Structures are given as C-alpha cells and as structure tokens.
Structure 1
C-alpha cells in the first residue's frame, strides 16, 4: 500500500506545526464565521485546536501538564487553568471569542470521564458540544474508512478498528509515554520530570530509544494479540510515537507495514475539533 492516502492529512499537520503556539493564525477569521474547537486533555499535554467550518486549520496552542493520569483528569483546577490560558491566547491571536468546543477521552473510560472532560471545558466558558473517543477522532482527521488506528498517548494505548466507516472494535490499555518515562527514570536513577525531559531531547533520541524499546514492543504486542481483527492500514498516532525507529519496531513485531504521520501528537486534537458541530 502506498503512502498517498495520508498525503492530505500530512500536509495539514505540517501547516499546524508551523502555527501552533505562534502569535499569528494560519489565516485571519471574521467575527461571525463558524469556528470549531477541539480540546485534548492529555497525560503529558493539553492541546487546543481551531478549525473553520470546512475543517481547515486556523490556529492551535498547547501546554505541557501533569493534570491528567492515564487519560483521566486528576487535577481539575490545573486542567481548567491551563485550558483557560490556551483559550485566552487563541482568542487574542484570532481577535474574537471562542464559544464551543468538543473534547475526547480514551476508549471505554466511561461516562464519568466524559463528564469530567465536559466540566473542564465548560468551566472555561466554552459550551461543550460533545466528548468523543480519541482513536475515533484520529481516524476522522485521517479520513480513514478502513483500517486500524493505534493512539498512544501519555497514559494509554487506544486501538480502534474501522470497516466501511464504522467502528467495529476498540480496546484501551494502560500503557503509554509515561511508562517510557518510568523506565528511563529507573535506568538512569533520575526523577520523573528529568526523565520526561530526557525523553523529549531529540539529541539523545538514539540513546533513549535503546532503553525504552521494550515498552514500544509491549505496545505492539497489544496490537498483535488482536490477530485477525486488525485491518490494514495500521496507523500509529500520539505523542509517545515521536521516535524515528518507532514504526520500524512496530512493523517488525506485527509483520506488516505501519504508518505514522508527521507530528503524530496533533492528529487526535485536530480530529476532535471536527466533531464540534
């Protein structure tokens, strides 16, 4: 299978990476046009994305955080404060108020988790229009009608299988980027904050990946254990996949081609915004 099926989404991701957290939007917006907002309350970061009515990228911002654990908000006030700052920054750059937003949760984490996410969003003055599951949001952005999305965040690995635009199977496992951080902390006998910084240091990537490869292999094993339920193409997204050798490890374990878009940490947040109708 050729990589052309990801071409459109790859181009959008590159555009988003150019404007995220900057002082200018991708284009100017009018005061009355419809804007769609996505809120991704992740374990390692909170991301706010803004699209227009045609699902074209307008703006985005993010902050690293420690307010969420395994995809569930554990520090409500910190989450609200971060999201409020992101909202205010976006409104300043866009020159207008944001009114609605959609959120997301890991698969099968329940109505209670969805309610907490909705409460965080609405505490900032936004009207929450819905809460989707994260891999489904990723598939929406990727325009994937048939295939498997493996969404690896800070705390969880969510796997969603799609056939004919329908979600036919979904699982969620408590393994993610935070577990990589724990392994690094144990290996070098450093605190989690230091290990997290080391993990994100691109200059140390080769050294870091050699240590955390077993965690990646465990993630791949979760997918492998689904056997015949997996449908190609397999696409990995999420901030924890941001290693050059990640897809190589996954492909070797699964014995099938695995794809990863550029800036995989932004796929799900952008997909969430599409649902803000």
Structure 2
C-alpha cells in the first residue's frame, strides 16, 4: 500500500524546518543518514529509527554536473562538513551513510566521494528509485527533475522495472532565464529559487515541455496511471500545471517540498537494506 502524501509532506515539512539548524539537540538511539550529491546542491539528512528527520544540512554547490563530480575534493569536503555539523548537533558519531546516483551513471562516482569524506557507504540507490521506495508505490512512475537531468523510475507491482535519465533539468531553466533577462547565471538561479512570478514559468515552458518529452520516451510502452514529481525545480510556480498539461489522463502528484524529497528518500532506503538483511539472516 502506498504511503500517503500527507504523511510524506509531514516529514518534508519537518525536514524543511531543520535545514542548516545547528542548535544542539542531543539524541540517543538508532539513526540512519542519507547523502544526496545533486547537481545544484548537496544534502545530508539524519533520521531516527522511526524515520523522522532529526537533522538536515544543505549547501548550494556546483561540484556535481549531470551525475559527474567536477570538483571531487570540494564535494567530499562539503559532505565531511555536513556530517560534522550533524554529529555536533545530535551528539552522535556518523560512520555510515546511504547515497545515490542518477540512473545510467556509475554509482562509484558517488560512493568515491562518500569514502573520501571518511565515511562508509552502507547502501546506494538511483535517485528516482529511492523515491519509489519511500512512497511505497505499486504502479506509477517517479520523475526526478535534477539540476542537469530528468530521471524516471517505472514501478509495476511494487517493483522498479525500468530506470533511466536524460539531459535537461533545472540548470536549463536557469540558462533560459539568464538569456532572457541578460543576467549572470548565479543571479538567474537565485531568481528561479525565490521568485513567485508565474511569468518565469511561461518563459521556461519550452524547457518544461522538453522534460515532458523525455518522460514520454521513458514511459513509452508502460501504462502509467500516476507520475510523482521530485526535485527542487518542480517548485517553480506554475511548473506542475505546465508539466501536467502534457499528460492528459495521468495523475501528476507533487509533494509540498520537492527539493527535500529525494534526500529524505535516500535516508529512508536504509530501512530496505535492514529488512533485506533480516530476511537473509
């Protein structure tokens, strides 16, 4: 049975309230940690044994591009610092983390960064599949709008049967805005993140249409009744309506804080690993 979006949105709201909050909140008990090495940001989220967020850290960064680490040292240092802050906040010692990778890329790119940060990789999963696991979907598709790519995982009978990723993501929306307004990339990126002006989405509509075309190709041959969106670029005001218009007859679902859905899902994936280990034992 699918986990309700109300439940997931509650967890996302909690995560949003914890982002980069260093206030000491000592914790005792089991915990698990997810690290998301995104194109536009790196996030570390710590969950308690029940799956509730207890610490969350994020840095906007350009050290990863389209699933490739272009600044290996910078990426590992950001992860190391986020983990240090989590340890200091909670009074714990994080040694193992879960991480992820875009579909179709080499997972070792991500795991090498984690290991360079002095951590052990407890598990690795592709990004949209992690969301499918979190939502406990039976028959649907998860579309992850990343900084540089659009990734899709197709779920049938509760199992991911196909996962793929193609270029075109939030960075391309930023480039469109930068070109239109004659702005440096960094200013256009800030505009995309913070503006509530629906006119920006109208300017970005061709890029969103390209993302929809990619997803149509990914799901071709599969009767997908619902598509679940994740990724920070989905939060652009009007994105949901423009994207949904390309999929008449298909339910399009977007969480309240799409920027944090994939990192939360990555951290939650340790539940799956633990369950597998218990069955083997």
Name the TM-score, length of structure 2 as normaliser. Answer: 0.90
Residues of 2 paired with 1:199 and 1:245: CA distance? 12
Whole-angstrom CA distance in 2 between matches of 1:259 and 1:101: 28
Pick aligned residue for 1:213 from 205, 210, 213: 205
Which among 171, 175, 181 is matched to residue 178 of structure 1? Answer: 171
- Structure 1: give runs of 5+ residues left out of the alignment: none
User: Using the alignment, how far apart are the partners of 1:142 and 1:57 within structure 2?
Assistant: 16
* 1:216-235 aligned within 5 A: 216-225=208-217, 226-235=219-228
Find the counterpart in structure 2 of residue 271 from structure 1. 265
**Structure 1 residue 71: Cα displacement:** 2.0
- Tell me which residue corresponds to 2:58: 62
Shift of 1:230: 4.3
Q: Which residue of 1 aligns with 2:18?
A: 19
CA distance in 1, matches of 2:69, 2:81: 17
Q: Deviations over 1:10-42 (max 9, x none)?
A: 1111111111211347x7421xx3211101000
Q: 1:108 and 2:108 equivalent?
A: no
**Structure-1 separation of matches of 2:234 and 2:146:** 8
Residue of structure 2 equivalent to 1:140:
133
Instruction: Report the Cα distance in structure 1 between the residues aligned to 2:129 and 2:154, rounded to whole angstroms.
Output: 9
Map of 1:1-277 to 2, 5 A cutoff?
Answer: 5-24=4-23, 28-30=26-28, 33-110=29-106, 114-203=107-196, 205-225=197-217, 226-255=219-248, 256-276=250-270, 277=274
How far did residue 267 of structure 1 move?
0.9
User: 8 Å contact 2:145–2:234 — kept in the other structure?
Assistant: yes
Deviations 1:35-56 (A, max 9, x none): 1110100010000011122322
Equivalent residue of 1:158, what SS? strand
Distance 1:130 1:71 in 2: 17
Paired position in structure 1 for 2:278 = none
> Counterparts of 1:167 and 1:4 in 2: how far apart (Å)?
16
User: How big is each residue's C-alpha offset from its partner over 1:223-275, in whole Å with a ceiling of 9 and x where there is no partner?
Assistant: 22334414222111101111231111121111122110011011111111123
- Residue 79 of structure 1 and its aligned partner are, at CA, apart by 0.4
CA shift for structure 1 position 190: 2.1
Deviations 1:119-175 (A, max 9, x none): 211222221112210001111222222211000110111011101221112221111
Structure 1 SS opposite 2:110: helix
State the alpha-carbon separation in 2 of the partners of residues 237 and 275 from structure 1.
16
Return closer, same or farther for 1:90/1:104 CA change in 2, 3 Å cut-off.
Answer: same
What are the ranges of 5 or more consecutive residues in structure 2 without an aligned counterpart? 275-281
Q: Is the 8 A contact 1:141 1:267 kept in 2?
A: no
Conserved? CA contact 2:143–2:152, under 8 Å: yes
CA distance in 1, matches of 2:223, 2:49: 33
Query: TM-score of the superposition, structure 1-length normalised?
Result: 0.91
Distance 1:261 1:36 in 2: 22
